Every structure is written in C-alpha cells, then in structure tokens.
Amino acid sequence: MARDAAIVTTWGAPVTGREAKSLEVFTEFMGFIGKLAVEGKCQPAEPFFAADGSSGFAIVRGKSDALQEIWDTEENLRLVAKAQGYVQDLKSHLYYTGDQEVMEGTQRFAEIAAQL
C-alpha cells in the first residue's frame, strides 16, 4: 500500500572551485522534479536555503511507491552521483509521514526501548 512520503535531500556548501557546477546541477534537479510533478508523479520540489548560504535542503512530496520509482530511475541516480561531485555532504532519504506513520513509528520505538 502506498504511504504518504517525501524524499528529503540535504546538501552542504559547494566544493571549492565547483560553485557554478553546483548551481547547474541544482537547476537540473529542479527541472527533473518539475517535469515529474507536471506528469502527476510527485509534488514540485520545495527548496530551502540556509540564511547564511552554507547549506540547504529540498522536499519532494508524494506517495511512497511513486517516489521509490522516481528514486530508482537511472536519471535520478546519475543526477545524485553528479551532485555528489559538486556539493559537500549530499544526502537523500525517503521519509514517511502522516498520523498513522507517526503513531506506528513511535509505538515501535517505545516497544524496542522498553526491551533495552
């Protein structure tokens, strides 16, 4: 069953000397997700930048099955690999959301913590 989810991608400062390329790959990412959003596969990316310019993150919301399909595409995997060469500390993870997910996750954690 598809769950409410988001891919959250975080990044640090550009690699020294690759600042222009980091902007280029960011623009490519926004275009890639924008195209998929128009096709109804996800929501448009919502980027955030630190006030001091040191880092940022982007949230792409959608259903878990569609987001996993996006993640597994060759285009996405190449884009992530490319970005890793231009920015520091790039990370991208799939997260689940919604009342049901939070309740189940909290309950699971509490059960395991009680066993420790």
Domain count, the chain: 1
Compute the average pLDDT of residues 105-111: 90
Query: What pLDDT score does 116 carry?
Result: 87
**Cβ neighbours of 57 (radius 10 Å):** 15
17: domain CATH number is 3.30.70.100
Residues 44, 71 contacting (CB under 8 angstroms): no
Domain, as residue range, for 65 = 4-115
At 81, the amino acid letter reads A
22-39 pLDDT tens trace = 999 999 999 999 999 999
